[in-house]
Amino acid sequence: GAWRGDGAGGERSGSAWAALTGSEPDLGACVAWVGTPRAGAVATFSGVTRGSFGGRAVLRLEYEAYAPMALRELKRICGEVLEMGCERVAIVHRLGDVLVGGTSVAIAASSAHRAPALAAVQYAIDAVKASVPIWKKEFYEDGEVWKENAEWEGGRRRLVQVSPG
């Protein structure tokens, strides 16, 4: 259906919810959103800040985005997930500071049987990292650095295996 604002920095259609939030993404709300009597499976993914990277202690992460384009890309990814045989999908990404143990992204997908939902959450996180204009800065005990996703190389998008087929 038509996309409409959800009142919380995102948009929902009849079967998809794409959002950017300044607070912790609520995986439970995502699971509740994707639930439907037609779905026998709900799969989820949570991206959580780990306490170290490359032997350095991580204090926190900071996410920034070009919000209009990021939301448009999240909606596009939701549409692709629905084409994979899912009933519903939710992708909610946090902006701002995320402490160690905090959630930066929550994804949920539902389908009649488990295979499409499981494939969808893997596809969705890979596609988010490859194409959504969200940038991450890592703060360490001894400094800070803007991080480039592994899906990007030298400032150019690298083709990665994210096709639903």
- Report yes or no: 45 and 125 within 8 Å, Cβ to Cβ: yes
Once rounded to an integer, what is the mean pLDDT over residues 136-140?
A: 94
Alpha helices in the chain (DSSP H): 27-34, 67-83, 114-131
Write out pLDDT tens, residues 81-110.
999 999 999 999 999 999 999 999 999 999
| Closest to 30 measured CA to CA, from 112, 91, 79, 100 | 91
* Least confident interval from 23-27, 134-138, 141-145: 141-145
Write out pLDDT tens, residues 26-52.
999 999 999 999 999 999 999 999 999
Q: What is the DSSP letter of 159?
A: P
Write out pLDDT tens, residues 46-59.
999 999 988 999 99
